[in-house]
Structure 1
């Protein structure tokens, strides 16, 4: 459990985001924990600089559909793995410290090491568009690509030594992608080979006497046609219209740190952050308006299932709900006081939220009532996602703990993953 779990609100967003960088998760991602087994010796890996590119392809990324009752605990590598990406319920890539990359093709029953021990760089993000093509980003400008499912990896030259905290191909076009530096600089490619720095602005001051503030990314969301929004410290929101190199500042009505942004229904959008702040836009961010939430507790995540129905979660077990698109928010008793870090909305009726000390809460009536689900762990749980085209929910958290739930129309079953192989290098 992080020592700063009950820190003051003014420092919360930065520290919470530091924790999330180490357990970074978006739809399709999970992280790992626990003892390691013997490493597989039948994996041949190569890393080389790439000057040319062969024919490429890709497919959609998972977003998930269903959940069910009963979570099983997975196993992995606390000292190695920081984040992972599951393409489906069978194929998963896990990455971590020391440039280690692991892969399973059988839903976690067995793992093989695809790369590791050749670099001290810690890896921060992984993304696959298909079973063959994927990217991994990390410290010191580390960005590599595979076109054969991870058997070989090619180094991409991005012209920076800064830590890359994310890699995105929002249009699913493998030639058009983004990577974000910790300091807010955005790198982009339009051919999949050459990467350049985009233009990211300073935040315009809320008050005339304020000085412009450099942008610092906390969260990024993409809408249709590669249109993107990024939120960060001091109420900053920047916007990219068409996937091009230029990001422009959008005027908000707050100086509070913004932690999470939801643009599923763009041009409608919502951003949440410190001290119960909610920013809402109806025009793609031409202007963001403040909406009262009657809470002073920081909000960590927001999710909408329709243009009118949404939920937000945050510190001290706070759960907020809106049924009018975010104009008004009501607090709902969650029956827990632990901090809630993430929320997953399966339908207008079924919702999950996860948080500190192994907290999992579940509603089957649209958030009117919540029940706490019990596990045998005390790790903080940072994220929950639903996987597309299968019947699984995945939860990940502190020290890489994995929880997975399987359900079908007839019966529910619980399954554990196997062990990630131990690094002997």
Structure 2
């Protein structure tokens, strides 16, 4: 049966769905959805066909939106998305991750929630908030947010989260207890001699390699890293890259040695692609070497950035790669990054990009 690719796009003014054919040559954009709420993360659950979007802000409040008919109709709920009375209110949902019949949500201020009824109601996974380091967590530039949610594909007890600017934390018991996993990652913004702390790093994005759950790739405020032991220790893989600073990372859907990222020119230099010349950097040897993929991307006057959740892959053969920019353009590659084509333009600021492959 022929396949259809859906590119799920979160923006500052609602969600969009880009429909593509299996060859990824013909595209149709639909939206905006979710009543143009600020949408931080839109993700699909291929088994059920449902699409979920997490968003909000201090004006709208937090909510998770859901559609079961590919965007024709939407509902949303915030039931249970709240801390106890007296604690700082939740401003927004920043990340969504479905697994089997459950759904996880990362929020701001950083915390984790779980739904067992497909987003209708939510329960606080309190163990993370109870970690002894919690009173010392400090916000990153976008606030104290839990933006990366990585679920182990076989072991339902294991979850990794990325928090700006607290670092990577891991649980092996479904969220009852947590431990920081930041050994080897730098915090250059701390005083000399204190820049390898147990926690307090500004992790920007965390992804898992396909077929190797213990291998993680991390783009950090202060470097690009790989772990081969589930984050217990990290090694730098930034040699050969034009910058140690960037936000998005994506892992190949089948090859654990292949990953993609988009470095930016630095945290104080404008946060756009280096030299205003766009490239997606690809490794095929787990970060030992990198190559710049530029064909079809703008090579001058490209003063855009790419946010932490705005790059994704599909599971077709060859794999498709997608990224969205701070200037509202979406680029796609149907050949694993060798060449690129703009497939949507003039959207609001793109905050997230995910994919879902469905039967026609």
- Check conservation: 2:187, 2:202, Cα contact below 8 A: no
Give the equivalent residue in structure 1 for 2:147.
165
Structure 1 residue 381, shift from structure 2 partner: 3.6
Distance in 2 of aligned mates of 1:231 and 1:96: 23
Partner secondary structure for residue 207 of structure 2: strand
Alignment of 1:273-312 (within 5 A): 273-275=263-265
Structure 1 residue 103, shift from structure 2 partner: 1.7
Distance in 2 of aligned mates of 1:356 and 1:365: 24
Distance in 2 of aligned mates of 1:116 and 1:134: 14
Give the equivalent residue in structure 2 for 1:397.
none
Can you give the 5+ residue segments of structure 2 that lack an aligned partner in the other structure? 1-5, 16-20, 83-88, 138-143
Normalising by structure 2, report the TM-score.
0.64
- Check conservation: 2:158, 2:172, Cα contact below 8 A: yes
Alignment of 1:149-228 (within 5 A): 149-157=118-126, 158=128, 159=130, 160=134, 163=144, 164-201=146-183, 203=185, 211=193, 213-214=195-196, 215-223=201-209, 224-228=212-216
Select 1:386's aligned residue among 348, 355, 358.
355
Distance in 2 of aligned mates of 1:195 and 1:257: 31
Structure 1 residue 173, shift from structure 2 partner: 2.8
Normalising by structure 1, report the TM-score.
0.56
Q: C-alpha root-mean-square deviation of aligned residues, in Å?
A: 4.4
Distance in 1 of aligned mates of 2:222 and 2:13: 37
User: More deviation in 193-202 or 176-185?
Assistant: 193-202
Distance in 1 of aligned mates of 2:81 and 2:332: 43
Select 2:65's aligned residue among 102, 127, 130.
102
Structure 1 residue 232, shift from structure 2 partner: 1.0
Give the equivalent residue in structure 2 for 1:72.
29
Distance in 1 of aligned mates of 2:67 and 2:166: 33
Alignment of 1:272-421 (within 5 A): 272-275=262-265, 316=276, 318-319=278-279, 329=292, 331-332=294-295, 334=297, 337-338=301-302, 339=304, 341=306, 342=311, 354-361=324-331, 372-373=342-343, 377-388=346-357, 390=358
Bigger relative contact order (CA 8 A; separation at least 6): 1
Task: Provide, for residues 168-208 of structure 1, a one-character-per-residue CA deviation record: whole Å limited to 9, x for no partner.
Answer: 213243211122221243332222141312242254699xx
1:181/1:29 CA distance change after superposition, 3 Å: farther
Distance in 2 of aligned mates of 1:363 and 1:267: 19
Distance in 2 of aligned mates of 1:266 and 1:188: 20
Task: Provide, for residues 78-104 of structure 1, a one-character-per-residue CA deviation record: whole Å limited to 9, x for no partner.
Answer: 445332221138312222232312222
Alignment of 1:247-286 (within 5 A): 247-250=233-236, 253=239, 256-264=244-252, 265-267=255-257, 272-275=262-265
Distance in 1 of aligned mates of 2:76 and 2:293: 48
1:90/1:350 CA distance change after superposition, 3 Å: closer
1:71/1:261 CA distance change after superposition, 3 Å: same
- Check conservation: 1:298, 1:315, Cα contact below 8 A: no
Task: Provide, for residues 35-57 of structure 1, a one-character-per-residue CA deviation record: whole Å limited to 9, x for no partner.
Answer: 89xxxxxxxxxxxxxxxxxxxxx
More helix by share: 1
1:248/1:353 CA distance change after superposition, 3 Å: closer
